[in-house]
Structure 1
Amino acid sequence: MRITAAAETEFLEKVFQSVGFSAENGTLLADTLVDADLRGISSHGIQRLDWYIRMVQDGTIKPQNQIKILKETATSMLIDANGNMGQIASALAMNSLIKKAKTTNVAMAVIRNSNHFGTAGYYSRLAAKAGLIGISTTNTRPLVVPTNAIEAFLGSNAFAFTFPAEPHPFVFDGATASVSSGKIMVLAKNQKPIPGEWAVDRNRNVIHDSKKAAEILSEVAFTEHQSGGGVLTLGGNQEENSNYKGFGNSLVVELLTGILAQGSISADTSTGKHDFSQFFMVINPAFFGDLATLKANAEKMFDRIRHLDHVPGTHIMIPGDREYRNYDNNLKQGVTIDPKTTQEITAIAKKFSIDLPQAL
């Protein structure tokens, strides 16, 4: 079904408050999911709601716990999410870093004892809105098989980078693996095949059956024992296609998150303590030159790329172009919710005695 962003927001706020989040935190959580749906990133939108609620109910997510700032300087922060949602600690971190970087020109934060934090780009875009460069990363449950391995060890380990520009900031936001698990889950929900070289079975054979891939990911991410298989690194299945570079990217994020936070690495989040870690960095580009000039130079580069000769019937897009176009369209037309997720939120609405969003 299709619903308005306002209706989705209102519904999500009521659900989050029903499971124990404060009104303020519920509003933030709702905004991160609606923002993802508006941008066409349905893997991180309302389809995550059922999963979030199950984690609250099994004690993985602790809505009443307060975020703790463990250490802080003029340029750095170490934050304990205290088992609460990653969005809450991450928004606190990024908003604090923005204030710091305006004075010190660079600031960074590490979060420990966290949970899923939505889309990495949500936080980096906060920096871009303030005329700053933003970097956001997180580790995840073990989903990704390293080069030549047959069992998952790394997380999909999202990375986002933003740079201020017009008509919208440059926004690179993606997994350091071939794909996030959420995209496979969306395909499986809708009984659609995997279109690319995204996942492999225990023999490292590429699989296109999304249901089979989802079952493999569920096993490796939520059980202590796995029979093998998982998501591929960037570069696909073969070392000849430089998949070791994607492997390296994932490891960089693992070092900045789980290792710096002294928390669990992705491989251990399904077998022991469930704790994701995040890393954020904000840079003031105005330290290096006039901000308006820097933005103009970046915009000229982007436009030159957009107008390069290209394959007929295609368009060259700069990271962020598609998402901002989706945002504008979906804000007017409403966001689409797949049939399976519609069933899930219908059950959630009934369980908490909340009105289901009205379909357009």
Structure 2
Amino acid sequence: MVKISIQEAKEKIAAIFMEVGVNREEASIIADMLVEADQRGVHSHGILCTARYVKLIKEGKMIPNMSVKVVKDNGTVAVWDGNHSSGQILGYRSMEEAIKKAKEHGIGVVCVKGANHFGALAYYAQMAQRAGMIGTALGTGDSTMAPWGGCEKVIGNNPVSVAAPARNEVSPVLDMAMTVVANGKVSNMKRQGATEIPEGWGLDRDGLPTTSMKDYYTIPPMAGYKGWGMAVMVDILAGVLFGGGTGDRAKDFADGPSIMMIAMDISAFNDEEKYYNDIDARINELKSSKKAKNSNGILMPGEIEANKFAASQASGLVEVLPENLEMVNAIAREMAMEPIAVIE
């Protein structure tokens, strides 16, 4: 790992996107989201994605500035056609709209079809969390996983994120794919020259477990048939329900992935003071329960990422994989821009 300046990374990545036609505001939002993913230790969704997005824009598969058609809107629920705009901008704007609807109606739901790669879903769920709401984000993706009992890639890893605000305790943030690990982690290992992958991470073309990178074909569902079942239901909720892309239809050159953003205003469900007292008490109760032998402690969902982010913010530096930084800097050099400097 190497360390780079958060501010420099955001400024230079934003400049790269502006060079390919993205307006300043959207370029800054995308850069912020990519760098924040690395700050949280989610390197499969961080600055690594810069090269992919630039390529998609150049190929005409990602519209550089958001273009949305409102298909339906009944006040509480809206469906947008994203017209293959940036998935991260569509996610950002749709959660903004869901929060706005929740303030008025208690709950807001915005579904987006015709999107693009939307990155780490935690960012969107935390937008609602920071607004004092419970945020949920669900998304479909192109085929990266075989069904439980199958060997053909027919469904995405279909991630889900839920973030709930707490006052005095760590605010829980769940962000998980329905596969054992995100496909990007295996891709990172391959770029690093790994010839083996951890046991349980891979299946070959016959659907049999493998640890060989050479034989690796797909990632199995997390928790076996349960992960497969969850992936199917996310396909329905975040895709089929409103006509969004699923499986191969969610590829960049097809319909594209789809997303569902949900914001829930706590005051519509409970007295806010009681909620905050209760959630702090419950988190404290869980974390102070008896530890397993040799345990280093009980962590809330997202607590490791929150600690990494806090440390990164305090230092002004973010750790990134050197090969991911080189991919960004290669683009910068092609554009006659100064590369991002390594601090440590």
Partner of 1:253: 234
Shift of 1:109: 1.3
Partner of 2:212: 209
Shift of 1:291: 1.3
Cα deviations by residue, 1:251-278 (Å, 9 ceiling, x for unpaired): 1110012212313312333496141111
Partner of 1:316: 298
RMSD over equivalenced CA pairs, Å:
1.8
Partner of 2:310: 328
Q: Does 1:197 align with 2:200?
A: yes
Equivalent runs, 1:1-360 vs 2, <5 Å: 1-64=2-65, 66-166=67-167, 167-192=169-194, 193-210=196-213, 212-213=215-216, 216=217, 230-235=218-223, 243-270=224-251, 273-308=254-289, 309-333=291-315, 334-360=317-343
Give, in whole Å, the separation in 2 of the partners of 1:211 and 1:301. 46
Give, in whole Å, the separation in 1 of the partners of 2:250 and 2:99. 30
Shift of 1:204: 1.9
SS in 2 for 1:26: helix
**Distance change (3 Å), C-alpha of 1:46 and 1:272:** closer
Give, in whole Å, the separation in 2 of the partners of 1:85 and 1:212. 33
Aligned-partner residue type, residue 302 of structure 2: G
Aligned-partner residue type, residue 177 of structure 2: A
Give, in whole Å, the separation in 2 of the partners of 1:306 and 1:271. 42
Give, in whole Å, the separation in 2 of the partners of 1:173 and 1:30. 20
Count of residues paired in the alignment: 338
**Distance change (3 Å), C-alpha of 1:271 and 1:110:** closer
SS in 2 for 1:135: strand
Shift of 1:196: 4.2
Give, in whole Å, the separation in 2 of the partners of 1:210 and 1:300. 46
Shift of 1:299: 1.8
Give, in whole Å, the separation in 2 of the partners of 1:204 and 1:102. 47
Tell whether the 8 Å contact from 1:261 to 1:277 is kept in structure 2 after alignment: no
Cα deviations by residue, 1:187-215 (Å, 9 ceiling, x for unpaired): 222234433412200122222234653xx
**Distance change (3 Å), C-alpha of 1:99 and 1:272:** closer
**Distance change (3 Å), C-alpha of 1:50 and 1:210:** farther
Shift of 1:287: 2.0
Give, in whole Å, the separation in 2 of the partners of 1:24 and 1:359. 26
**Mind listing any 5+ residue stretches in structure 2 that lack a counterpart?**
none
Give, in whole Å, the separation in 1 of the partners of 2:272 and 2:309. 26
Shift of 1:70: 2.5
Normalised by the length of structure 1, the TM-score is 0.89
Task: Return 160-169 or 249-258, whichever deviates more.
Answer: 160-169
Partner of 1:224: none
Give, in whole Å, the separation in 2 of the partners of 1:64 and 1:129. 26
